Amino acid sequence: MESRIRVLFLMLPLAALTLSGCAATKNLFGGGKESAPPPAELPQGQVIEPEVERREVKEPEIDTEDFEIGAFAGILSIEDFGSDFVYGLRIAYHVTEGFFVEGTVGQTEAGLTSFEILSGGAPLLSDDDRQYTYYNLNLGYNILPGEAFVGEGRAYNTGLYLIGGLGSTRFAGDDRFTVNFGAGYRFLLTDSVAMHLDFRDHLYDIDLLGEEKTTHNLEAHLGMTVFF
């Protein structure tokens, strides 16, 4: 009798174990929905938690596009030495919607003076000295911003700007202090790609042909720039 009771007592935990085992397998096979913990419905007082999570979101930075870089090509007329193909690079930084600062470098090659052509004598300059390179640092102002309409359905942002500044020109074997000024027309194909048409006058003193004089060297070029 006693042993039978003992067996019964032993059976009880065994049964409990089996049952719990069944429950575990039920959970394992996805049948135990009713025994899953209640969904995370937070009481009214605990709304702080999602706020903390939101603050962890890192805001993406705004892409600033104040710089403009590009290349240009056109014609530069060197006083006394004819006109030739000029090309160069341009970088600008837009400080405000009106003002910008700009740096340009350009290169061309001087032709022959009328005297050299007519006399047929010895050339005034060696080939190396005919290389004409310049750099300029300018301040610019967008004086007439506006829009241009192409056909009926297209509008493009444009701007007329004035520039002025100084730099150096290497020509005929020397570097010469150069002042330049001019005007340009900016035509924005998209919000960040622009076409430019520029007219500039480069002034410097030169004493190559006997006496020192100030020369005007006019440049017209077409350029393409990208804002970044």
Partner 1 sequence: MSERNITTTPSTSRSIKSALLTLLVALAQVISAGVAQAADEYKTVAVADPYLEMHTGPGRGYPIFHIVDRGETVEVLSQRTDWFLVRGPDGKEGWVDRAQMEQTLQPDGAITAFEEADQQDFTDSRWEAGLLAGDFGGANIISAYGGYSLNPHVSIEVWGSQILGNFSNGWMGSVNVVHETWPDWRISPFFTLGTGVINTSPKSTIVQGEDRTDQIAHAGAGFRIYATRRFVIRAEFKSYVVFTSRDDNEEVEEWKAGFAFFF
Using the structure block, give the residue that is written with the tokens 């960040």: 192
Rule CB under 8 A: say whether 78 interacts with partner 1. no
State yes or no: residue 171 binds partner 1 (CB under 8 A).
Answer: no
Sign of CA dihedral 126, 132, 133, 135: positive
Taking the least distance from each CB to partner 1, the nearer of 26 and 129 is 129
Residue 209 binds to partner 1 (criterion: CB under 8 A): no
Contact 215, 203 (CB under 8 A): yes
Contacts of 124 (CB under 8 A, 6+ apart): 113, 115, 116, 208
Rounded least distance, CB 37 to partner 1, Å = 30
50 in contact with partner 1 (CB under 8 A): no
- Length of the chain, in residues: 228
Cα gap 183→176, rounded to integer Å: 22
**CA 175, CA 169: separation in Å to the nearest integer?**
5
Q: Does 227 bind partner 1 (CB under 8 A)?
A: yes
Shortest CB 190 distance to partner 1, Å? 10
Among the listed ranges 6-14, 19-27, 56-64, 213-221, the one in contact with partner 1 (CB under 8 A) is 56-64
**185 vs 187: CA distance, rounded Å:** 7
Q: How far is the CB of 108 from partner 1 (least distance, A)?
A: 19
Least distance from partner 1 to the Cβ atom of residue 175, Å: 5
Among 111, 112, 176, 199, binds partner 1 (CB under 8 A): 176
Would you say 130 and 108 are in contact if contact means Cβ atoms under 8 Å apart?
Answer: no
Paired tokens of 41: 């419905």
Our finding on whether 21 is near partner 1 (CB under 8 A) is: no
Total number of residues binding partner 1 (CB under 8 A)?
41
DSSP result, 126-141: -TGGGEEEEEEEEEEE
Judged by CB under 8 A, the chain residues 121 through 150 that form the site for partner 1 are 137, 142, 145-147
Footprint of partner 1 on this chain (CB under 8 A)?
51, 54-55, 57, 59-66, 93-97, 101, 137, 142, 145-147, 155, 157, 166-168, 172-177, 188, 191-192, 205, 207-208, 227
